Structure 1
């Protein structure tokens, strides 16, 4: 009981001594001044990546090289759907993988001069498979879906959206 009272007394005296340092630079509450009004910075309100910092080329001391892309086109494209949004459109694609366990599905944009000239927006539906052998399974168990957002700028010059798989491709024309 005597030790706890002594500790409490010492702590009280130490805290009361901090009052004399209230205007000192040692006090953490004085490290920053009071807030001042400032002009807002110009940002685009439609910028989806406004809070993501820009990547520097080369990286830092501990940066890793980009991993090798081991994905392959999906076996068959089953469905292509384009839903309009206020900022552009969302392209949904559903495909059937060659075997079970497909993961990391992504629609990868194919850029070529011919596509740009003809107003074609082409994507390849790519997936990764496990290294170990897996069963083929039922068609329903091999379904994979992915979506990608397209902004208004890309849509203005687009007349055709195409999603390509290993065995087939599906297209959707602008009305």
Structure 2
């Protein structure tokens, strides 16, 4: 019982002492003073917002973000293979072709339509690659062989009966079983 009475007496004295410490510099809440209300002068609405920076800051990768490079691919000479691989949630279309030039790079399957939709059940792609800046001599067929792939979801494939990949001289097609 003595312990309870002693702790209640100390707590009561501590709470009453807070009134005297409230205005003293010992209290951390007083270190910055009391807040006061001030009237502000309104500027015209045409003035700029001080929270928005005057100039746009440039980042390290700004040039990559703003400049979208145009793809300058040309169709591959021959399409030598077309494989459709089923995956969960869709399929992967993998096309192999033989280029007429060495050093083909940035190989991709480009959709023949703008929105990559099938026309009368036929989904058409072009196998394209960019030419190197320096012309090289033509080497073996094995060196000029390129491969590209594109992933399609089940929703993209729902109206497709035939997939066609075109090259410069030929096209490969595969039909749904």
Where on the TM-score scale, by shorter chain, does this alignment land: which range?
0.5 to 0.7
Q: Indicate conservation of the 8 Å contact 2:92/2:151, yes or no.
A: yes
1:45 aligned partner: none
| Aligned pairs for 1:22-171 within 5 A | 62=62, 63-111=65-113, 116-171=118-173
SS of the residue corresponding to residue 110 of structure 2 reads strand
In structure 2, stretches of 5+ residues that fail to align are 1-27, 30-56
In structure 1, stretches of 5+ residues that fail to align are 1-22, 25-59
Provide TM-score, normalisation by structure 2: 0.60
Distance 1:151 1:121 in 2: 13
Distance 1:69 1:147 in 2: 17
Relative to structure 1, is the Cα distance of residues 159 and 112 closer, same or farther in structure 2, using a 3 angstrom cutoff?
farther
Distance 1:92 1:82 in 2: 6
Give the deviation of 1:64 after TM superposition. 2.9
Provide TM-score, normalisation by structure 1: 0.61
Deviation track 1:11-35 (CA, whole Å, cap 9, x = no partner) reads: xxxxxxxxxxxx99xxxxxxxxxxx
SS of the residue corresponding to residue 66 of structure 2 reads coil
What is the aligned residue count?
117
Give the deviation of 1:112 after TM superposition. 6.6
Superposed structure 1 runs of 4+ greater than 2 Å apart: 60-66
Deviation track 1:22-73 (CA, whole Å, cap 9, x = no partner) reads: x99xxxxxxxxxxxxxxxxxxxxxxxxxxxxxxxxxxx97553422321101
SS of the residue corresponding to residue 131 of structure 1 reads coil
SS of the residue corresponding to residue 70 of structure 1 reads coil
